[in-house]
Amino acid sequence: MSAFWTVSAVLLLYFTQNSCVTARLILAKLGDSVVMHPGQTFDSISAIIWKHNMNIIVEWSGANTTCFGGFIGRCGLDKTTGSLIISSLTVEDTGHYNPEIDSKILGVIELWVIKPVPKPTVFLECNKEKSLCDLTCKANITSHFGPVMYRWEAGKDVLSRSTRLTLTKANREHSYVCMLLNPFSNSSSDVVLNPISHTGFHPAAVAVPIVLLVLTLFAVGGYVRHRKAEKKQAQTAEAAQAERTAMTLKGVVTDRTHLQHGGSALH
Ligand SMILES: *[C@@H]1O[C@H](CO)[C@@H](O)[C@H](O)[C@H]1NC(C)=O
Ligand SMILES: *[C@@H]1O[C@H](CO)[C@@H](O)[C@H](O)[C@H]1NC(C)=O
Ligand SMILES: *[C@@H]1O[C@H](CO)[C@@H](O)[C@H](O)[C@H]1NC(C)=O
């Protein structure tokens, strides 16, 4: 019910502001050409006048076609249909166009010359924990851009059609882009990486690997030290063994010498 009244109010506003309800709306792109048909067909035409916001911009009555003001050099007429042709459209061409064919005043046409949308900028606001973030898409939009739509995309998915995108821990997308669109163009913001802090970035999740790393280093260090000590011990034992062996051999040799001496003494 309230929606109905809102629509009615908007329509009422439209009708009261535009006394001529039959105005046809034409959207055209900046720099392009447009052909505006008078909205009625004729068997033969002998005189044409087109006005822009009540000023005569082109005139023809069997001889030359004369364009005026800012339309000189970029206006023309189709004498069989009565259509007005304007090339190299500028923002100033926006407005109401009134055709007069053979002195007959015809319905007004509303022309909107639309500029390509600008590149939007994304503003980021997060809570301290980075568990909740608002991305706001901003661009300096004026009426010269025509009807502009906003769109938030993550890869090929459209997440929102408003200026703001709210992210929570449930948002696991890698990155986001805000796109502005009008009937003739679109423009995307720079890519914004997902600012939400997920479990991988939780303080505990950072602390645990660090503790593990420290423990590992301790363990490795301990092992190396242990191995070194073992080696040293082994070396000491080896040395002692070698000494003992040497002493034993020496003893044997001494004994032998004694024997030899003894032997020779026996001879
Ligand atoms: C029509 O144009 C011709 C040359 O293109 C010019 O000589 C003539 O004076 C013009 N006629 C009118 C009525 O402007
Ligand atoms: C928006 O654009 C208009 C026209 O180009 C300019 O006059 C105005 O200063 C701009 N506003 C901001 C906030 O950039
Ligand atoms: C954006 O514009 C390009 C051409 O400029 C077009 O190819 C593309 O389909 C448009 N994208 C959307 C989503 O309209």
Q: Is the CB of 64 under 6 A from ligand 1?
A: yes
Q: Is the CB of 181 under 6 A from ligand 3?
A: yes
- Residue 18: HSE in the Cβ half-sphere, 13 Å Cα cutoff: 17
Which tens digits make up the pLDDT trace of 230-266?
666 666 666 656 555 555 444 444 444 444 444 444 4
- Residue 64 CA: nearest ligand 1 atom is 1
Q: Of 74, 91, 114, which one is at a domain's C-terminal end?
A: 114
Based on the fold, state whether residues 45 and 110 are members of the same structural domain.
yes
Residue 265 in domain: no
Domain that holds residue 27: 21-114
Quote the strand ranges of 38-118, DSSP E. Answer: 48-52, 55-60, 65-67, 75-78, 83-86, 95-101, 104-105, 109-114
CATH (domain of 172):
2.60.40.10
Mean predicted lDDT score pLDDT of the chain: 81
Say whether pLDDT at 133 is over 60.
yes
Residues 222 and 185 in one domain: no
Pocket mutation for ligand 3, best pick of 152, 153, 185, 186 (most atoms within 8 Å of C-beta):
186
Residues 210 and 145 both lie in one domain: no
Identify whether residues 127 and 191 lie together within a single domain: yes
Tell whether 42 and 101 lie within a shared domain. Answer: yes
Would residue 7 count as lying in a domain?
no
Residue 116 has pLDDT above 70, yes or no: yes
Looking at the 3D structure of the chain, how many domains does it have?
Answer: 3
pTM over 0.85: no
In terms of domains, do 188 and 125 share one?
A: yes
Same domain, 194 and 218: no
Instruction: Indicate whether 214 and 181 sit together in one domain.
Output: no
Nearest to 82 by CA among 41, 25, 53: 41
> What atom of ligand 3 comes closest to residue 181's alpha carbon?
14
Nearest-CA residue for ligand 3 atom 2 is 186
Q: Which ligand is nearest to the CA of 145?
A: 2
3-state secondary structure 194-262: CCCCCHHHCHHHHHHHHHHHHHHHHHHHHHHHHHHHHHHHHHHHHHHHHHHHHHHHHHHHHHHHHHHHH
**Would you place residue 62 in the very low, low, confident or very high pLDDT band (cuts 50, 70, 90)?**
confident
Which ligand 1 atom sits nearest the alpha carbon of residue 66?
14
Q: Quick check: 67 pLDDT over 80?
A: yes
Residue 137 lies in a domain: yes
Domain end residue (candidates: 114, 134, 152):
114
Residue 167: inside a domain: yes
3-state secondary structure 123-149: EEEECCCCCCEEEEEECCCCHHHCCCE
